[in-house]
Structure 1
């Protein structure tokens, strides 16, 4: 992830965020800045993946898992991502990143992430991720047990 200032601002905005259920959507508003764009004057395709990292951080915090991750020293890892680019996001355009947990098995959590601007879908992704600790993969049954 290379959006450290936006990560800091996101973490600041998370203070006092009410906890929600794990299947509820996370919504975060952003604006395309000039340094997010490529020579074609739209958001660079690689930048979408960095924003998706921020969306997953927001979701994890929203469901109350962030303190657990910090306490247990887990690391998040992305196993795969499939993204479809539908409409370009232009410089200074506002967009909302919507992240939701779709399903999980014992190893991976599968999430949907959507980039929407003015109610219009601009990009859609499905990702699978997991948590790692010092010994390796953390099972999702352990993650769910930690959530209570």
Structure 2
């Protein structure tokens, strides 16, 4: 199930947080909850990527990118991802996620994200994203 409560909480916090530049590091913190776990009692790998979505939402809101995307009727899609799992995230662990634009070229926006538990890296993701025009909008 999609973490709707976490999404709403993340959006509320991001709107109240100080504005940052698009290349700054955005930070989110949360706890691993029972519904984030798989049968091995660690955070499900799919949940890791879902929570990374929330980190990108925070970065886009804090940097003002979300306003531009909305105004221009653009979307931000993930075209590819590479993930490395380093440490298990267990129930009730406090997780701090860092999100930052790593690079931009003529076609792609590369975003790096990492999750940390007790000062140690738990996972890291490099995403290749693109800005797309939403259906029904005209340039």
Q: Name the TM-score, length of structure 1 as normaliser.
A: 0.86
Matches within 5 A, 1:93-104: 93-104=93-104
- Number of matched pairs: 135
Structure 1, unpaired ranges of 5+: 136-148
Q: Name the TM-score, length of structure 2 as normaliser.
A: 0.91
Task: Name the structure 1 match of 2:65.
Answer: 65
Matches within 5 A, 1:1-148: 2-134=2-134
Deviating more after overlay: 120-129 vs 12-21:
12-21
Deviation at 1:15, TM superposition (A): 2.4
Deviating more after overlay: 44-53 vs 61-70:
61-70
Find the aligned partners of 1:134 and 1:91 in 2 and give their Cα distance.
38
Find the aligned partners of 1:108 and 1:2 in 2 and give their Cα distance.
27
* 8 Å Cα contact 2:107-2:130 kept in structure 1: yes
Task: Name the structure 2 match of 1:146.
Answer: none
Find the aligned partners of 1:134 and 1:14 in 2 and give their Cα distance.
24
Task: Name the structure 2 match of 1:138.
Answer: none
What is the Cα-based RMSD across aligned positions, in Å?
Answer: 1.4
Find the aligned partners of 1:23 and 1:134 in 2 and give their Cα distance.
24
Divergent runs of 4+, >3 A: none
